[in-house]
Amino acid sequence: MQTTVMGRIVGYDDRGEGTPVVLIHGYPLNRMIWEAQWEGLADHARIIAPDLRGFGESEMVAGIPTEITTYADDVRELLDALGISEPAIIAGLSMGGYVALAYLRRYPEHVAALILANTKATADSLEGKAGRDKSITLAQTKGAAGIAEGMLPKVLSPKTYTSNPELVAQVNRIMQSATVPGIIGALTAMRDRPDSTGTLLEFSQSTLIIAGADDQLMSAADQENMKQAARNSTLVTIPDAGHLSPMEQPEAFNKAVAEFLRSMG
Ligand code: MLT
């Protein structure tokens, strides 16, 4: 569905009842990566999945520089528009995790718990920042298709990539639907985001960290760093999952989240 928030069209899904769980997608994706979660988890909680600006059905705002906090503010404004003022469980995959941590920094009183999937708390290295600039040039010259071509083999585990052509095609479609301004905004925001390890160190509420055993983009050390920083955290590593664990192993992903929700009562 769509709504207008602060004059901007925002695509989102809102299913189920109870504690709000906000699912924030990664780059260059959209809320469709959570299809199996809103179907599998809406019996346990109220699942809200927004499209970040420039992705899915959410409008990009031209001429405004995008920072990681821009997306966090967008999430807060959507929740306000939906009348959700109580603390929510904020969940993010990869770039969605960077946004979740920015949201925690800005709106700590609105966070009941965190779910950090296939992500990391650290900032980009100098090499990583240079890679973002190359990707911006690629997006400008080859569009979303050029970005998707390079990323597709990296976001899925080698096993998923060779054995699940339907999922490969679905992820490709999602990536190719991203807008170039949306891609450039996200690359800029990720390049310039700060290290969030200190934010996690200050967080005392429950944190679920979900890793893919075969994630080619996030290392085991990234996961261990978050586990050490978040004092009340649990790390679940999903076998046979790459970077897109909620799509590659939806049952295992949903089980980990449902158990986490139960543990919080
Ligand atoms: C993502 O999946 O959101 C991105 O690959 C994260 C990143 O590039 O740092």
The ligand 1 atom at the shortest distance from the C-alpha of residue 119 is: 6
Q: Indicate the domain borders of the chain.
A: 2-263
Quick one: pLDDT at residue 174? Answer: 98
- Ligand 1 contacts CB of residue 26 (under 6 A): yes
Quick one: pLDDT at residue 265? Answer: 80
Quick one: pLDDT at residue 62? Answer: 81
Domain 2-263 class, CATH top level: alpha beta
Going from the Cα of 27 to the center of ligand 1, the distance in angstroms, rounded, reads: 5
Quick one: pLDDT at residue 231? Answer: 95
- pTM value is 0.98
Pocket test for ligand 1, best of 95, 116, 245 (most atoms within 8 A of CB): 95
- In this structure, the strands spanning 88-93 and 207-212 are unpaired
Quick one: pLDDT at residue 65? Answer: 86
pLDDT < 70 positions in the chain: none
- Closest by CA to 74, choosing from 155, 189, 246, 178, is 189
